[in-house]
Amino acid sequence: MIRNAVAADLVQIMEIVEAAKSDMHSYNNYQWDESYPKEEDFLRDITEGSLYVFDMEGSIAGVVCINKDEPEEYKGGNWSMSGEALVIHRLAVDTKFLGKGIAYQLMNHADVIGRQNHTAYIRTDTNSLNIKAQSLLKKCGYIFAGEITLSGHEGTFYCYDKVL
């Protein structure tokens, strides 16, 4: 079941994030490091009501932030549409639940939120080395929308978007 995250979820969320960092680093993707994402990022998302978790009988299987906050660098993307969009940030799945469709369901939750809020457009980005995320985005119906660099992050990031 996907639900809004609460502060009591933070310990499990941060454990998932640390495992995701280790996995990314194993294939030289340093998109997430010691400076991002931090617990305060997730706490802010919880406070704003934009952090969602996939709860499997009290165990957090995955987490995603869905809001309308776009990095300034998104102006450099070759987006399908202009105007208001939902933006997906900080998606991670507990390694115990990999391969069970959790990330897919969390991504599709953005579609649900978009339709509920009459926002028919979603954007996101991922490190050019994050082949797993790129594959997931394509599976979820997102299309490649160009390359950008993000302030404070190494490497190139690929932009993806989806019109609902």
Written as six digits, the tokens of 74 are 């998104």
pLDDT for the residue numbered 151:
87
Instruction: Output phi, psi for 104, to 5 deg.
Output: -60, -45
User: How far apart (Å, rounded) are the C-alpha atoms in residues 15 and 72?
Assistant: 29
Distance CA 63, CA 5 (A): 8
pLDDT for res 76: 75
Looking at every residue in the chain, the average pLDDT score rounds to 95
- pLDDT given at position 154: 82
- Could you say which residues of the chain have pLDDT below 70? none
pLDDT at position 57: 86
Q: What per-residue confidence (pLDDT) applies to 161?
A: 98
Residue 91 CA to residue 75 CA, distance in Å, equals 22
> Domain span at residue 96?
2-163
CATH of the domain at 68: 3.40.630.30
**79 and 157 in contact (C-beta within 8 Å)?**
no
Look at residue 143 in the predicted model and tell me its pLDDT.
97
How many domains are contained in the chain?
Answer: 1
* 136-143 contacts, C-beta under 8 A, 24 or more apart: 136/103, 136/104, 136/107, 137/107, 139/104, 140/104, 140/107, 140/108, 143/80
